Each structure stands twice: as C-alpha cells, then as structure tokens.
Structure 1
Amino acid sequence: MARPFPEHWQQTLESLPLYSRLESSLQTELRHKVQAFLYRKRFVGCEGLAVTDDMRVTIAAEACLLVINRPSTLYRDLKWIYLYPSTFRSKQPERNEIGVVSKPEGSLLGVSWSNGRVVLAWDSVQRGSADFEDGHNVVLHEFAHQLDQEGGSADGAPLLNSRAAYGVWSKVLSREFAVLQREVERGHRTLIDSYGATNPAEFFAVITELFYERPGAMQATHPELYATLMDYFRVDPRQWHRG
C-alpha cells in the first residue's frame, strides 16, 4: 500500500471513459481505493482464463466508484472474485426474500454471493466499461448487491448514512418498485430495466447502474429516487456525463 500507484495501472484507469471526467480529488481517492481493493481481494480465472492486471484494475475501479466520497468498509466481507471468459452457469443455490431456495437457471453475466464471492463474465465487464452511458454495467450491478448484503440479507436496503435515511429510503424505493412492477405487468417500456421488477434486491442493483450511467435521464423521470440515491452515494454523476 505504501508503494507508488503503478504506471500500467494508471494507464488502465485512463482508458476507462469515466475516469477522466472525475474531478482530481475523486481520481486520487479512486486510485487509493483501487490499490487497497487489489491488495485485499483475490482474483481467480475460470475455464482457462488468465487474469491480467488490466482485468483486475478495470473491475476494481468500477467497484470502488460506488464507495468514493463516502465512508465505506471497501467490501470488507468480499474475499474472492471469479472471472469467466463469457457467460456461465451457477451451481450455487439462492435464497429469495421469503426464504425459498432455488438454483439459478440459464446463462449468467454475474453473481454476487454473501459468502465473500463475486463471479463475473469478463466479456460483459468489457462491454460495460467500454460504454458507460447505456445504463447497463455488470460490475456496478453485482457490487451494488455486495453493498446490499452488508446490511444482512439482500433485500434492497443497504446500510444507510443515518437513522432518518431509512424512512425516506423505504418510502421512496417501495413506491418506485411498485410502480415499476405495474408498468412491467402492463407491458410498458420503462427507463428502469424491467429486471428490477424481480424483487427489491434486483431493483436496487438496477437503479444503481442507471444512477451512474444515465443520471440525467433518471433525474428527469425519477427525481425523488435520484435524490435518494444521491444522498446515499454522496455523488452526483450528472457532473461526469457530457450533454
């Protein structure tokens, strides 16, 4: 941690579309948190994938973007990050919000587990890092789940900044979640990805992607939800996006 930030890590950061748009103080903080993240976490390549520093720094930068400008444990309980070349199938059982255990079906782009593990498809990570304005980013999504899980079970309510914030959070997110579910049931197109209607945990992960990648559109159409997330994350991503 006392060593200078490696030059080739810096080059990777500068290749990410969003990094150059951050103010210098946030760039400095992000570098520090990336360095701490990579010191504490272990990456494992799966199905023959050789994990490079470029992969590690890219994932660390996007994960740490969620915790800059505010106190954090830097994903204290997370120990391992598994990388697949592309989509994969999970064998890990999952428990939903009412306690029903099932196994995920189909091919996955990412999974976040409460036992200190995140699994990602590298090609999806690359797509997300190349286009930071389409509202879809698997790293932001899965690490939002990690933040959610710091408060216990993944229920869409992470640890908040104050006791008073929980009342606002519950009111705003519950209302917006119910609206999304109704709109999806009616077959309407929504700014918030329809996958967010699955459950409150997925809703939080989906709106986190939207908050960072399409902040202008989100603030225009969901102003109270945007303000609630801005209070939680303590940043305003509209400052980082052109136009």
Structure 2
Amino acid sequence: MSWSIKNWRRNQILQREGIPDYIWQKLISMRCLKGLNPDELMRLRECATLFLHDKQINGAHELEITDEMRASIALQACILILNLDLDYYRNWVEIIVYPGEFILDYDYADEFGVVHHIHRIAAGEAWSAGPVILSWQDTIHTATRSGHNVVIHEFAHKIDMLHEGANGCPELHANMSAYTWHEVFSQAYAQFCHQVDKRQETIIDPYAAESPAEFFAVLSEVFFELPLITQQHFPSVYEQLALFYRQDPAQRWR
C-alpha cells in the first residue's frame, strides 16, 4: 500500500510540475547531456522534475530565478544521479544562486581541531548539511569554458560528503573495490599534483590539486563534459567513475 501511495504521489508531481516542452527543448543541447538516448532523456526529465519539487532555488542580491534557470540547474545536477537515486541529495533543501562570483568569509575547524579562516572569491560552494551556492554567471558560461561545469562540480561534492565527509571517495557500490578506488585516485592525484608543482600544462583545471575532494569534483566535471579526453588521459579514473555513476558518457559521445 505504501509503495502505491508513493508511486501515485510521484506521478502527480510529474504530471503537475513537469518541465515545460519549450524549456526542455532549449536545454537538452547542453554538452553534459550529449548522446543520451530517448529513455535516458525521459528519466532525466522526470528526475529533474522530482528534484525541483524537493529543493528550493533562491536568488541572492535580488537575482530573479526563472523557470528556465531552475530547470537548467536541475538537469545538470541530475545527470550525476541519472542511474543512481535522488536519495544522494538528501538531508538538505536549498540552492542559493548569486548573479556572479561571491565572497566566502568564515572560520572552520579541521579534523585536528585547528581553526582556519576562509576569505576568497568563489563560483560555487557546497555545505555538508546546508545549501549549494552557485554563481549564475559561471553556470551559464559552462558552454564556453571547455570542461568546466560549476553545477556538476558542487553536486559531486554533495555526493562525496555523504560518506565520511568530503574526501574524494563517495560511498561505493557493492560491486566496487574500495582498495582499487583508493589506489587509482591516489596515484592519479599524486601525478597530477606533481605536474602542477612543476608548473606543467595540465589537461584539467589545476584547482583539482587543492585536495582529493577537489580532484574528485573536477574529474566528475570532465567525466561528463569531456568524456573522451578524460578517458584518454585518466583511463583508470574514468573506469572507476563509470562504475560509480553507472554511466559511460565516452561511449555515448562515440
């Protein structure tokens, strides 16, 4: 009975709150959605609709949030969980959107109890039990910045944070090896940090060298935005991400 009620409620939301066709047609050309088949597109549209029902998207500094903006954020957030579950975005409700970059200014204590002060300009931020914060200017410039996607980046952090905090290792599926994940990501991260330290040209954003958590988030961006390049230059990492997200965007692009 409870399943029937839940399914009825889900269908009611999809019927009443579905993404309008005129918005859907404008947004399905986003690069991170390239190659999705009709069944995947239908499931993504449904997932985004349910996501928007559960989340509040609010503008900061008098930014007016339109239905198209809401749908754009939802589709990019939901491409990560297309073959997973909305439960990956549980325990929080709000997305705050600034017109452009914003200033982060706060203190936090690390795992050793040492207090650090943060003061920097950011295009996105994700809080473990709080909101996702986005710069709309950076969100809409995704199409012109090769491999960058601030929405995917911050929502990858949200997924990562569900398991032992943001450490670059989300809760893995039963068919995945934690040992293999750590070996693959640790080796790739060490090599990448060496490139950055030597000021060598890198395939992905050097910001990925900030921490294993940032490495995971940046690799998640390029996994969906530039899958063929990611598979070419980070083949072992690509394989692990494909197992985790249960998607193979490189195959879709081919």
CA distance change for structure 1 residues 58 and 180 in 2, over 3 Å: closer, same or farther? same
Say if 2:105 is the partner of 1:102.
Answer: no
Cross-structure match for 2:178? 166
Cross-structure match for 1:81? 95
| Corresponding residue to 2:220 among 208, 215, 222 | 208
CA distance change for structure 1 residues 156 and 95 in 2, over 3 Å: closer, same or farther? farther
Scaled by the length of structure 2, the TM-score of the pair is 0.87
Cross-structure match for 2:130? 116
- Which of the two has higher C-alpha Rg? 2
Work out the CA distance in 2 between the residues paired with 1:98 and 1:190.
32
Equivalent runs, 1:222-233 vs 2, <5 Å: 222-233=234-245
Cross-structure match for 1:127? 141
Work out the CA distance in 2 between the residues paired with 1:238 and 1:158.
22
Cross-structure match for 1:28? 42
TM-aligned CA deviation for residue 163 of structure 1:
6.7
After TM superposition, the structure 1 stretch with the greater mean CA deviation from structure 2, 228-237 or 117-126, is 228-237
Kindly indicate whether the alpha-carbon contact (under 8 Å) linking 2:14 and 2:46 is maintained by their aligned counterparts in 1.
Answer: no
Cross-structure match for 1:45? 59
Work out the CA distance in 1 between the residues paired with 2:252 and 2:117.
38
Write the letter of the residue equivalent to 1:3: Q
Give ranges in structure 2 of 5+ residues lacking alignment: 1-12
Q: Deviations over 1:175-214 (max 9, x none)?
A: 1111111111111112132111111111100111111111
Scaled by the length of structure 1, the TM-score of the pair is 0.91
**Which structure has the highest helix share of the two?**
2
CA distance change for structure 1 residues 211 and 39 in 2, over 3 Å: closer, same or farther? same
Q: Deviations over 1:42-65 (max 9, x none)?
A: 011101101111111000000000
After TM superposition, the structure 1 stretch with the greater mean CA deviation from structure 2, 119-128 or 72-81, is 72-81
Cross-structure match for 2:5? none
Q: Secondary structure at the match of 2:121?
A: coil
After TM superposition, the structure 1 stretch with the greater mean CA deviation from structure 2, 19-28 or 171-180, is 19-28
Cross-structure match for 1:70? 84
TM-aligned CA deviation for residue 2 of structure 1:
4.0
CA distance change for structure 1 residues 95 and 197 in 2, over 3 Å: closer, same or farther? farther
CA RMSD of aligned residues (A): 2.0
CA distance change for structure 1 residues 163 and 236 in 2, over 3 Å: closer, same or farther? closer
TM-aligned CA deviation for residue 69 of structure 1:
1.8
Cross-structure match for 2:203? 191
Equivalent runs, 1:130-145 vs 2, <5 Å: 130-131=143-144, 134-145=146-157
Work out the CA distance in 1 between the residues paired with 2:225 and 2:176.
27
**How many residues matched?**
240
| Corresponding residue to 1:13 among 6, 10, 27 | 27
Q: Deviations over 1:8-67 (max 9, x none)?
A: 442343353444631111101101110010000001110110111111100000000001
Say if 2:190 is the partner of 1:178.
Answer: yes
Kindly indicate whether the alpha-carbon contact (under 8 Å) linking 2:57 and 2:65 is maintained by their aligned counterparts in 1.
Answer: yes
Write the letter of the residue equivalent to 1:78: W
Kindly indicate whether the alpha-carbon contact (under 8 Å) linking 2:196 and 2:206 is maintained by their aligned counterparts in 1.
Answer: yes
Kindly indicate whether the alpha-carbon contact (under 8 Å) linking 2:88 and 2:162 is maintained by their aligned counterparts in 1.
Answer: no
CA distance change for structure 1 residues 136 and 95 in 2, over 3 Å: closer, same or farther? farther
TM-aligned CA deviation for residue 223 of structure 1:
1.1
